[in-house]
Homo-oligomer: A and B are copies of this chain.
Amino acid sequence: MPKQSLNAVQSSTEFEVAGGGLLDRRLFLKQGMIFTAATWGALSSQTATAELDRESWTKQPGKPFSNYGSPSDYEKKVIRWIMANDDAPGNGVSWTPLHELEGIVTPSGLHFERHHNGVPAIDPERHRLLIHGLVKRPLTFSVSDILQYPMQSRLCFIECGGNSNAGWRSEPIQTQVGYFHGMASCSEWTGVPLSVVLQEAGIKGRAKWIIAEGGDASMMNISLPLDKALDDCLLALYQNGERLRAENGYPLRLLVPGWEGVLNVKWLKRLHLAAKPVMARNETAKYTELLPSGKARQFSFVMEPKSVITHPSFGHRLDRHGLYQISGLAWSGRGKIAKVEVSADGGKSWAEAELQEPVLPKCFTRFRIPWRWQGQDVVLKSRAFDEAGAVQPERAELIARRGRHGYFHYNAIVSWAITEAGEISHVYL
């Protein structure tokens, strides 16, 4: 077995770019400079080979082919965590385990869920979309009709407006990243631009809003400004290459890139064009919040820039000194992520992380930065900057602006404190 060679970076300060051990984001490209100091234990390769070849899976045929695959049996712990109403098990949420994942794509089986009355089993042959209200020609579309139209694909995130709401608590929640921030997921969605089918119906001049309604047994509805509908919304039919999963709106959902999740109506059944919003439950009693001024903040659609370090994070434990790669996710509903900065000294100094290509608008962006940990007490933070100029705030700033009665749209900087023993906790700092 090799010794832990990741200690191998010279303990000089040559590559340091900020306090707490943060190193130049290009460091891992300079391999020759880093790893030549490695001192691995020599071992007999004959012995090792013989050992490898003794395993049962080298001795007997494996399982046959499958029509549709599933995760490895050894990965059964990587699941959506469910929090649902005992009396109404279709009402609740399930979270994407972001702390177990890598890259930017969320596998469809782990996309977060938010349902009000369960997942309907809609027959696509019988499903219809109605477009009516302030239109010249009210229309119904079958799914086959919609499949005839020109399509577009885009990789983008969907995030619930209530994601990260534990951040509003007075004490920092101690839980894994996925169960704190995992009401956000990222997929490649394909569908028909909403503008194209609205054009077919003919929009009347007084129309300013679209009331979108789902076809499940909660018949949830919300109001979407017409300008956004004509900008970049899709009638989504495909998710990560295949048709939508039932829990993501099969056979048809609304995709409203960068705006809060509740607008991305699943099992889409009706688009009613109107002069005013409908003032539905989910835009009055819910998804609004009381500000310090006493006024309610309503129709706060855009998901502001957010980032979180996923590795290392709560639930992990640093069990060696040496070199680490800090990695995490950043996203913004306003466009592309322009920059992510990381601090290892609680915000005193910051260094710029590498952004993994592709960097796409309204999409998860993976950031990475090398870090040397030699047992020092540290507080890790990340902050996202988007191309529209918005910056992820410190928690104190967010509370000063929005008050202490918030529940939705929490996007403050997240802080992980790491003790000398390598234990990680969530702190407000």
Contact = CB atoms under 8 A, between A and B. Distances in A.
Interface string A19-56: 00000000010011011101010111100110111010
B130 A45 contact: yes
A181 interface: no
A65 B5 CA distance: 43
Contacts of A93: 65
A84 interface: yes
A58 to B, nearest CB: 6
A374 interface: no
What is the oligomeric copy number? 2
Interface stretch (A99-107, A159-167, A404-412): A99-107
B123 A74 contact: yes
A154 B358 CA distance: 8
Contact of A32 (B55, B145, B199): B199
Interface string A56-73: 011111111111111111
B132 A45 contact: yes
A370 interface: yes
Given A1-B140, A105-B105, A358-B360, A121 B65 contact: no
A43 B370 contact: no
Interface in A85-137: 88-90, 92-94, 100-111, 113, 115, 117-124, 126-128, 130, 132-133, 137
Interface stretch (A242-250, A285-293, A297-305, A414-422): A242-250
Contacts of A75: 242-243, 250
A142 B1 contact: yes
A54 B141 CA distance: 17
A195 to B, nearest CB: 6
Given A107-B241, A240-B103, A36 B270 contact: no
Interface of A: 1-2, 4-6, 28, 31-32, 34-36, 38, 40, 42-45, 48-49, 51-53, 55, 57-75, 78-80, 82, 84, 88-90, 92-94, 100-111, 113, 115, 117-124, 126-128, 130, 132-133, 137-142, 145, 148-155, 187-190, 193, 195-196, 199-202, 215-217, 219, 237-238, 240-247, 250-251, 267, 269-270, 324-325, 327, 356-358, 360, 366, 368, 370
23 contacts: A1-B145, A2-B145, A6-B149, A43-B139, A52-B130, A59-B217, A62-B217, A63-B119, A63-B121, A64-B89, A64-B118, A65-B113, A65-B119, A66-B247, A69-B108, A69-B111, A72-B250, A72-B251, A74-B123, A75-B243, A102-B151, A148-B324, A153-B356
Given A55-B127, A65-B92, A148-B324, 14 more contacts: A48-B140, A58-B217, A65-B90, A65-B115, A67-B79, A68-B71, A68-B80, A74-B251, A101-B241, A101-B242, A102-B151, A106-B241, A152-B368, A153-B366
